[in-house]
Structure 1
Amino acid sequence: MPHPDLVLGLDVGTTNLKCLALDEAGTIVAHGSEPTPRSHPRPGWTDFEPGRVWEAACRAIRAVTAQVAHREGIKGIAVSSLGESIVPIDAQGRALAPAIAWFDLRTIPEYEWLRDRVGYETLFKVSGLNPDPMYGLCKILWVKHHQPAAFEQARHWLQFADYVAYCLCGIPATDPSMACRTLAYDVTRGTWATKILESAGVAPSTFPPVRKSGTPLGALTPASAAATGLPQTAVVSVGIHDHVSGAFAAGGLRPGLLFDSIGTSESLISVVQGPLSDPRIAEHGLAQGAIWIEEPTCYLTGGLQTAGAAVEWFRRELGGKAGVAELVEEAASADEAVPVFLPHLVRSVTPHSDARAAGAFIGLKAATTRAAMFRAVLEGLAFEARAIADAMVSVAGLPPFQDVLTIGSSLENRLLTQIKADVYGLPVKINPVRETVSFGAALLAGMGCGLFADATAALRVARREEIDVAPNAERSKRLQTRYEEVYRELYEQLRPAHHRLHALAR
């Protein structure tokens, strides 16, 4: 019996690197995972060391290739990743400095300098983004100001999907979904924003060519083949941003659909007809992005930086010896006297773009239990997702959502999905694939090496029966009342105190 042809998808996430092998029928035949290496050189700072991330990527890939009987049948690989964190490499492809984590706020001074020099409105109009310190160009400027030797030697600036692909095949490239996370990509023209880069003092030539996701780049280098266990004939294809990869694989890139991708962070995405020009979009922390899988497409997105991170924070700091599953079980019966949780544990993005925002529990009493507090965390995440979705409708003018599709931790944390359905007042569908993001990258690899003729053929094998979670009428009414009467105004009510605390802590 002949061995099946396979493709690999690798996702470089904030917490883990995940790799899987997919056959031409869409069956996952192997998978591997490695923790994402991180360092904390100062309090509040987080770096990704590029060399260590590459080594972890090799281990995750080797964990997959070790499960494959006929490695020569592996025809291709593509990479998805977190956005905003950016790696400078020299002419020999060596990483010159650590990549600042997307959630690291040390770049606030660089952002303020860029905003004052270029103009907030210009940055929004060109990039489609809510101008913010987290984007890649602000991190490049931090390197310029604090590590000038690395800045001067940089031949290319690559985000992690592009950096790992470069390590695999030696060819620099990116796609629109990654490019638009830099604040230096013209979302309307589909090119690098030369005037913004020149105003910032960054050479446009140091940014890689922007290509369609799934475009074949080339075969593996001998060194990367040896490091990963992949055959040197395997084709490396252009990858994609992680949340968009999950949306693609799950069939979430449909107009009118609200797609909810939950990991360490959370991103809500909806496809739009083209770039939107209303400046209120940026003021409310909404961003626009570009996708190029079949035809160039635009999307609107809003997000929360601490979604799964808030759940993990509670488990680590307040959960004692309990795991998340035990906390969820406790919270399922804690439906009374639940406090309200504001989940801005790092900052707020949408609908209030505020780097000085903070989290809070409101309504704690002596009788408040751990179970009630954890349920408050889940309800707070659902309330924040509802606030983001409301902003997408009221500010951006999208029609009210009727369909919600989710991936990520929703599969394991069914209580959170039920609470979201109740808060939305809408049924929520769960895609049952556990590693949807790396699955999407594998589909792109299949398109690049010819295993799948096009995106339509790739999505045909990706199709899965979704799990429906319907709202409970009684709980939905109660939770929507809490959202309308308490949560919606909570950020504004606490903002002065949080800003004063931020100033006192400096």
Structure 2
Amino acid sequence: MDAVGTPLSPGLAWHDPRGITEPILKELGDFEFRARAGALLNEIVTISKTLWLNENYPKSKKAKHFLSAPEWVAYCLGAEPVNELSLVSRTGFFDVEARKPWAEAIALVGGGNDFLARLVVAGEPIGIVNSQAPENLRGAVITIAGHDHFTAAYYSGAINEGSLFDSMGTAEALLRTFKAPLKREAIAELAAANVGLSCSVIADHYTLLGALPTGLTLERACSLLGVNSLEEKVALGSAALSIDPSASAMRVVNDYHGLSITNLDDAVSPAALFRATVEHLVEDSAEMISLMEKFTGKAQNVVIAGGWIKNPIIAFAKERQFGSYRVSNAQEAGATGAAEFAGIAAGKFKLRLN
């Protein structure tokens, strides 16, 4: 935005691939970026998207202030301009471990000392809905609830130290929350494995977020097998329980772009393919959790949310992986957690820390 709050470019979704990374690598360095921003240097982080916008929308070079999408909505409703800690942590403009703006990164996109606004924590009141909003919203307290996976973990009772939150949606999100800061070498090592560090939605805490394309890969496997409905997926999962993984050399390899199947043999079947997919995905999850535990210690309890945990083979595989776990009863944990933070801002609820 310019000095009076006028947008100078369109917004871009977090997964939009339009970004420029070369100046970041040249001026800041790969290790330094990972160690300070707590993220991989790629087209996903906001700083790379801002460089792309500067090149394609020249007016954006004159920007004085930055707001993420939720912060912009709140500003339009009547809030003061703010940057919520768990969201600004994922921009590349913020030194996460130090909990302060990263001046060198901000300067790279042409920003100054006031490029980031006042820093707030989730659930902090930041204004009252103005008279230009729909009538039924006017006078309501405004807050920013923070990152959706974090609010889901909060609502599910898994944002405290010692808990691992495993969200089994389209992406599998693995979260650990803690208070003691990590060394920069640890932050860089985690980021290299796509485990990002952010300030948490709980004041004075950090949250590690590891992401895997688990649900996306399961959906692709189901599509390949012609399995579409929830009932069909449950039946496929039940059939996969009877498969002996050692009876076949079949292997599945995946990333966000697709999956590959190798070593198809005489033991192949829809259930065998689904079992092989699940086995591979759980191995990936266990590897990422092992890296997180290297710096946070072993989790004392595990909470799982998301639709895929209701599939029989997923439930079986996760029990084998963790030993025991609790399933969150929330239908939409992220949205419900956000609503609870709104209630905290309005004085209706108190912050839960367990």
Q: Where does 1:445-484 land on structure 2 (aligned, <5 Å)? A: 445-452=342-349, 454-456=350-352
Preserved CA contact (<8 Å) 2:195 2:209: yes
Shift of 1:409: 2.1
Letter in 1 for 2:146: I
Distance in 2 between residues matched to 1:392 and 1:176, nearest whole Å: 21
> What is the 5 A alignment of 1:297-308?
297-304=205-212, 306-308=213-215
One of 36, 41, 54 as aligned partner of 1:144: 54
Map residues 405-424 of structure 1 onto 2, 5 A cutoff: 405-422=303-320, 424=321
The more displaced of 193-202 and 89-98 is 89-98
2:9 pairs with 93, 96, 104, which one? 96
Q: Counterpart of 1:238 in 2: which secondary structure?
A: coil
Structure 2: distance between partners of 1:319 and 1:172: 49
**Any conservation in 1 of the 2:199–2:207 contact (CA below 8 Å)?**
yes
Q: Name the CA distance, whole Å, in 2 between partners of 1:97 and 1:90.
A: 17
Residue 97 of structure 2 is matched in structure 1 by: 188
Q: Per-residue deviation at 1:180?
A: 0.4
1:440 aligns with 2:346: no
Change over 3 Å in CA distance of 1:92–1:188 after alignment to 2: closer
Q: Structure 2: where are the runs of 5+ without partners?
A: none
Match of 1:285, as an amino acid? Answer: N
CA–CA separation in structure 2 for the residues paired with 1:158 and 1:202: 13
Q: Matches of 1:193 and 1:105 in 2, distance apart? A: 23
The number of aligned residues is 346
Which runs of structure 2 are paired with 1:333-352 in the superposition (5 Å)?
333-334=239-240, 335-336=243-244, 337=247, 339-346=250-257
What amino acid maps onto 1:344 in structure 2? D
Q: Percent identity?
A: 24
SS in 2 for 1:103: coil
In 2 relative to 1, CA 375–167 (structure 1 residues): closer, same or farther, beyond 3 Å? farther
Per the alignment, in what secondary structure is the counterpart of residue 157 of structure 1? Answer: coil
2:149 is the counterpart of 1:243: yes
Q: Deviations over 1:199-225 (max 9, x none)?
A: 343345333321121111222233332
Using the alignment, how far apart are the partners of 2:346 and 2:318 within structure 1? 39
Q: CA deviation at 1:114?
A: 0.4
Q: Distance in 2 between matches of 1:322 and 1:449?
A: 42
Higher relative contact order (CA 8 A, sep 6+): 2
Do residues 311 (structure 1) and 192 (structure 2) align? no
Are 1:375 and 2:288 an aligned pair?
Answer: no
> In the superposition, relative to structure 1, how do residues 167 and 421 fare at CA in structure 2: closer, same or farther (>3 Å)?
farther
Question: 2:238·2:312 contact (CA, 8 Å) conserved in 1?
Answer: no
Q: Give the structure 2 partner of residue 469 of structure 1.
A: none
Give matches, 1:94-243, under 5 Å: 94=7, 96-99=9-12, 101-107=13-19, 110-149=20-59, 151-152=60-61, 154-226=63-135, 230-243=136-149
Is the 1:114–1:200 Cα contact (8 Å) retained in structure 2? no
Say which SS state the counterpart of residue 134 (structure 2) adopts.
helix
CA distance 1:376–1:106, shift in 2 (3 Å): farther
Partner of 2:292: 392
| Structure 1 or 2: more strand by fraction | 1
Which amino acid letter does the alignment assign opposite residue 338 of structure 2? A
Counterpart AA for 1:390: S
Query: Helix, strand or coil: the match of 2:66?
Result: strand
Q: Deviations over 1:161-198 (max 9, x none)?
A: 22332333353222111010011112233221112211
- Aligned 1:278-289 pairs, distance under 5 A: 278=185, 279-289=188-198
Q: Is the 1:127–1:185 contact (alpha carbons within 8 Å) kept by the matching residues of 2?
A: yes
Amino acid corresponding to residue 432 of structure 1 in structure 2: N
Q: Over residues 220-278 of structure 1, what are the superposed CA-to-partner deviations in whole Å (9 max), with x where a residue is unaligned?
A: 2333325xxx3312111122001111111111122222211232222211123213322
TM-score (norm: length of structure 1): 0.62
Letter in 2 for 1:105: P
SS at match of 1:359: strand
Distance 1:153 1:263 in 2: 39
- What is the CA distance between 1:383 and its match in structure 2? 1.9
Q: What is the Cα deviation at residue 290 of structure 1?
A: 0.7
* Change over 3 Å in CA distance of 1:320–1:284 after alignment to 2: closer
Q: Report if aligned partners of 1:90, 1:96 keep a CA contact under 8 Å in 2.
A: no
TM-score by length of structure 2 reads 0.87
Note if contact 1:341-1:376 (Cα within 8 Å) is conserved in structure 2.
Answer: yes
Letter in 1 for 2:233: L
Is 1:320 the equivalent of 2:216?
Answer: no
Q: Distance in 2 between matches of 1:391 and 1:321?
A: 34
1:12-31 mapped onto 2 (5 Å cutoff): none
Contact 1:319 1:327 in 2 (8 A): no
- Matches of 1:427 and 1:300, distance apart in 2: 22
Aligned letter for 1:143? L
- How much does 1:302 deviate? 1.7
RMSD: 2.6
| 1:361, distance to aligned residue in structure 2 (A) | 1.8
Partner of 2:301 in structure 1? 403
Tell me how far apart the structure 2 counterparts of residues 253 and 369 of structure 1 sit (CA, whole Å). 40
Distance 1:144 1:94, change over 3 A: closer
**AA in 1 matched with 2:253:** L
